[in-house]
Amino acid sequence: MQATTEAQMIALYHHPKTRSSRFIFLLEELEAPYTIQQVSVRSADGTGSVDPANPHPHGKVPAIADDGVVVWESPAIALYLTDKFAKNGIGPLVGDARRGSYLSWLAYYGGVLEPAFMSKFQNTPVPRGTAGWVPVEEAMEFVIGTLSASPYLLGEKFSAADVLYATTFGMFGASPMMPKSPAIESYVKRCLERPAYGRAQAKDNG
Q: At its nearest, how many Å lie between other proteins and the CB of residue 151?
A: 19
Position 164 contacts other proteins (CB under 8 A): no
Q: 5 or 130, CB closer to other proteins?
A: 130
Binding residues with other proteins: total (CB under 8 A): 47
Q: At its nearest, how many Å lie between other proteins and the CB of residue 188?
A: 21
SS (H, E, C) 93-115: CCCCCCHHHHHHHHHHHHHHHHH
Calpha distance 167→132 (Å, rounded): 23
Q: Which amino acid is at 58?
A: H
Position 100 contacts other proteins (CB under 8 A): yes
Query: Within positions 42 to 61, which residues make up the interface with other proteins, using CB under 8 A?
Result: 44, 57-58
Burial class (CB in 10 A: 0-12, 13-18, 19+), 57: exposed
Q: 37 or 74, CB closer to other proteins?
A: 74
Q: At its nearest, how many Å lie between other proteins and the CB of residue 89?
A: 16
The binding track of 107-146 with respect to other proteins, each residue x by CB under 8 A or -, is: xx-xxx-xx--x--xx-x--xxxxxxxx---x---x----
b/e sequence 73-89, b meaning 16+ C-beta within 10 Å: bbbebbbbbbeebeeee
Calpha distance 18→21 (Å, rounded): 6
Calpha distance 19→117 (Å, rounded): 14
Residue 10: phi and psi, rounded to 5, are -80, 130
**What are the C-alpha distances in Å from 2 to residues 6, 11, 63, 70?**
12, 19, 27, 25
Q: Select from 88, 99, 171, 172 the one that contacts other proteins (CB under 8 A).
A: 99
Q: At its nearest, how many Å lie between other proteins and the CB of residue 149?
A: 13
Q: Select from 8, 31, 53, 84 the one that contacts other proteins (CB under 8 A).
A: 84
Q: List interacting residues with other proteins (CB under 8 A).
A: 44, 57-58, 66, 68-76, 79-80, 83-84, 94-95, 97, 99-101, 103-104, 106-108, 110-112, 114-115, 118, 121-122, 124, 127-134, 138, 142
